[in-house]
Amino acid sequence: MSDSTETLTVDLRDIHKQFYGVKANEGVNFQLRPGEVHALLGENGAGKSTLCSILAGLYRPDAGEMIIEGEPVVFKSPKDALAAGIGMVYQHFRLVPNLTVAENLALGHHNLGVMVDQKDLQRDATQLGERYGLPVDPTARIWQLSVGEQQRVEILKLLYRDAKVLILDEPTAVLTPQESQSLFSTMRQLTDEGRSVIFVSHKLHEVKQVSDRVSVMRQGQMVGEIDTADAEPKDLARMMVGRDLELPTRAEDDSTGQPMLVVRDLRVPGDRGLESVKGVSFEVRSGEVVGVAGVSGNGQRELAYGLVGLRRPTSGSVTLDGVDVTEENVLEHIRQGLAYIPQNRLGMGLSPGLTTEDNLGLKAFREAPYSKGRQLVPAAFKSRGKDLIEQYDIRGVVPGLPIRLLSGGNLQKALLAREVEMQPKILIARSPTRGLDVGATEAVRNSILRERSRGTGVLLMSEDLDELLALSDRLIVLYEGEIVGELTARMATAERLGLLMAGQRDEVAP
């Protein structure tokens, strides 16, 4: 693998790139060998996407050399890069929604698209898809496809042009765990044929699983390159963040607290009137984290809506700290001490166009100090907002500007700050770290554990098994609207959860 006489597929030397004074790449060196999966790791804004875009011909470097297969090159456009065998799948796909899969493959390749025989195209597409484990219907139009399928089309597009180097920019961000696994096997197959893959990610376990080597970037610079086999997740995390992470530590289970949330035989309708939650019973006690595992779409959303008052259950009961709130509206749930972190941060948890200060007051604005009778106290929004922004380290806030300008991590910090500030008795969180980088993930998980130790009952709904296993005292698994298993933290393993999530009832009583 480290045969130094071998010609490097890609050799980037001392690449510099600035955007309006922001140094996105500063003297970056990057080497790609034939037949390897090379992970490019780094936090949001570390310069990964810039580097990839330079390699793919989208940007031109301010300085530095690009050597492909031993030849110095200058790419004027992505077309040049593609001609040299380098193609990229961007985070935002570049497909034409109204054209079919086959037509998208031909687009830009055959310049006279109309002259190409559709049948030939479709046959090529099918064959290519079968060969690389990327099944997709060549006659389907792009808008009819799921995000995962669209990504397959993007990859097929590159293979159709016989790209030797495939750059995948955070491809798993839009995929389910199963789809990710299948993508990884496709990547393996590509490298077996001698192609190379650059895999951009900030998820350590994926990098660990799929890559041969890892390059880590931080603040526009390359901070290290290492064989994956030698890389410890902890070390990679330190390289990315530039400091040691306080990994969440959960005090041992002593769940003898009061039941704060009691759910009995709860049934909640779905969007189309069919029952989505089909008779669910469980409790969350003071000071415990109950994890809810399940493949998305198995009733998690409806369960959460039913618990927080956003959707009226058809039967059953929800009791918050001894008060039956089944028939109550959202406001009554809030008054009973229920905090909720929805999956959709911007658009449900936060009002995108309002300021950060206004958003921080969104739950407490009905009372002092935010309002005085029917009047609002703008000064209170300002001063309370300032306190919370400092206390919860919410960065990037410009007073008076809408909250939607904040990064995902800071949005989540703001949302958590507001919910935790109300000193809830129950905290329900859905996928609270989805899409966040390691630093923000760490902050969010620590907040949840702090709530736990304060005595809050936490219901954590997530698709991230690592997160569930790391934080939960107990786990329940939802499958098609029913609880198919309940496990204590000690008994839970990823394998067991996986089986339950696939609908195989647990025979072992908890």
In the complex, what is the shortest distance from the CB of residue 2 to other proteins, in angstroms, rounded to a whole number? 31
Given candidates 408, 455, 498, 503, which one binds other proteins under the rule CB under 8 A? Answer: 408
Tell me how far CA of residue 116 lies from CA of 97, 113, 155, 166, in angstroms: 19, 6, 21, 26
- Which residue number, 404 or 496, has a Cβ lying nearer to other proteins? 404
Query: Rounded to an integer, what distance in angstroms lies between the CA atom of residue 275 and that of residue 298?
Result: 11
Q: Where are the alpha helices (DSSP H) in 44-117?
A: 48-55, 78-83, 101-106
Does 228 interact with other proteins (rule: CB under 8 A)? no
Does 47 interact with other proteins (rule: CB under 8 A)? yes
Does 357 interact with other proteins (rule: CB under 8 A)? no
Does 405 interact with other proteins (rule: CB under 8 A)? yes
Given candidates 31, 126, 319, 351, which one binds other proteins under the rule CB under 8 A? Answer: 351
In the complex, what is the shortest distance from the CB of residue 6 to other proteins, in angstroms, rounded to a whole number? 31
- Which residue number, 171 or 481, has a Cβ lying nearer to other proteins? 171
Does 296 interact with other proteins (rule: CB under 8 A)? no
Given candidates 1, 229, 251, 401, which one binds other proteins under the rule CB under 8 A? Answer: 401
Does 108 interact with other proteins (rule: CB under 8 A)? yes
Does 17 interact with other proteins (rule: CB under 8 A)? yes
Short-list 382, 387, 393, CA closest to 355: 382
The residue range among 4-12, 188-196, 261-269, 367-375 that interacts with other proteins, by the rule CB under 8 A, is 367-375
In the complex, what is the shortest distance from the CB of residue 151 to other proteins, in angstroms, rounded to a whole number? 13
Beta-carbon contacts of 168 under 8 Å, excluding residues fewer than 6 positions away, are: 88, 89, 155, 187, 197, 198, 199, 200
Query: Rounded to an integer, what distance in angstroms lies between the CA atom of residue 97 and that of residue 153?
Result: 12
Does 430 interact with other proteins (rule: CB under 8 A)? no
Query: Rounded to an integer, what distance in angstroms lies between the CA atom of residue 40 and that of residue 239?
Result: 12
Tell me how far CA of residue 297 lies from CA of 265, 309, 314, 347, 478, in angstroms: 20, 19, 19, 20, 10
The residue range among 50-58, 258-266, 272-280, 455-463 that interacts with other proteins, by the rule CB under 8 A, is 50-58
- The packing angle between helices 408-421 and 438-454, to 10°, is 10
Given candidates 407, 470, 480, 504, which one binds other proteins under the rule CB under 8 A? Answer: 407
Does 508 interact with other proteins (rule: CB under 8 A)? no
Does 394 interact with other proteins (rule: CB under 8 A)? no
What amino acid occupies position 133?
Answer: G
Size of the site for other proteins (CB under 8 A): 65
- Beta-sheet strands, E only, within 228-381: 259-269, 275-285, 289-293, 315-320, 323-324, 338-341, 371-372, 375-376
Place of tokens 């089986």: 499
Query: Rounded to an integer, what distance in angstroms lies between the CA atom of residue 476 and that of residue 453?
Result: 21
Given candidates 292, 406, 448, 465, which one binds other proteins under the rule CB under 8 A? Answer: 406
Backbone angles phi, psi at 461, to 5 degrees: -105, 125
- Which residue number, 213 or 345, has a Cβ lying nearer to other proteins? 345
Does 78 interact with other proteins (rule: CB under 8 A)? yes
Residues numbered 446-505 forming contacts with other proteins, rule: CB under 8 A: none
Does 352 interact with other proteins (rule: CB under 8 A)? yes
In the complex, what is the shortest distance from the CB of residue 95 to other proteins, in angstroms, rounded to a whole number? 9
Structure tokens at 305: 């809506």
Place of tokens 């703001």: 414
Tell me how far CA of residue 479 lies from CA of 33, 252, 295, in angstroms: 44, 28, 8
Beta-carbon contacts of 21 under 8 Å, excluding residues fewer than 6 positions away, are: none
Residues of this chain that bind other proteins (CB under 8 A): 17, 19-20, 22, 24, 44-47, 49-50, 53, 58-59, 77-78, 91-92, 94, 108, 170, 173-174, 308-310, 329-334, 340, 342, 344, 347-354, 358, 362-363, 365-366, 371, 374-376, 378, 398, 401, 404-409, 434-437
